[in-house]
Amino acid sequence: MKIYWVRHGKTQQNEKNNYYGKLDVRLTPEGVREIKEIQTNFNDCINVYTSPAARAIETAGILFSNVYFKADARLLERNMGIFEGMNYGEIGKKYPHECKMWDENWQDYCIPEGESARMQYERVVSFIKELEALGEDAIAVCHAGTIRMAICYMLGGNLDMFWKFNVHTGTVVATCYEHNYWYLDLSRENY
């Protein structure tokens, strides 16, 4: 079984280096170009899931214009609550106490009006476990944080791995599940 994780194309919030999860923004022209450049057939996979965020739905629509895709809220980016739409420096200035709490416990600190990293991790794992039970190849069009949480789960459930890699806009990450074991497939031959 394979899951192909596709990060949406670039948005204006990406260009500003802002944290955003629930902000519903669309792709920039460059983001549309990034997605159109993905040359793939995904092994003709027909199970396509997408985050319900506009940027993910727009990405899925570009890639899969003739395929029905299902929106799943478990694929949403982390809800950044009061930090939405700000970069790290702005967060520190406007919310110094909350930023300090977040720095000290990034995994479990629940951002006011948002969620903790662990809350996002748990919903992403729920999505993956459902696909494991189905045993069918799938494509998940979503967000960097969602993909990073998925990889953390697949590499043993260590959330500290979250900071060890990045997932750029318009990127495809192929993951495989065999004999109850997940691994990353870094060859382009599989998509």
Q: What does the DSSP assignment read for 145-163?
A: HHHHHHHHHHTTS-GGGGG
pLDDT at 122 over 70: yes
pLDDT in tens, 126-182: 999 999 999 999 999 999 999 999 999 999 999 999 999 999 999 999 999 999 999
Q: Whole-angstrom Cα distance, residue 97 to residue 12? A: 28
pLDDT in tens, 57-100: 999 999 988 888 999 999 999 999 999 999 999 999 999 999 99
Furthest C-alpha separation in the chain: 49
- Which of 36, 14, 35, 32 shows the shortest CA–CA distance to 23? 14
**Confidence class of residue 189 from pLDDT cuts 50, 70 and 90?**
low
Q: What pLDDT sits at residue 68? A: 87
Taken in order 137, 143, 146, 151, the sign of the CA dihedral is positive
SS3 content of the chain, % helix, strand, coil (to 5): 45, 15, 40
Q: Whole-angstrom Cα distance, residue 80 to residue 23? A: 9
Q: What pLDDT sits at residue 191? A: 58
pLDDT in tens, 33-58: 999 998 676 657 779 999 999 999 99
Residue 148 near residue 138 (C-beta atoms within 8 A): no
Q: What pLDDT sits at residue 55? A: 97
Q: What pLDDT sits at residue 184? A: 94
Q: What pLDDT sits at residue 84? A: 96
pLDDT at 121 over 80: yes
pLDDT at 183 over 60: yes
Q: What pLDDT sits at residue 42? A: 66
- Which of 29, 31, 77 shows the shortest CA–CA distance to 50? 77
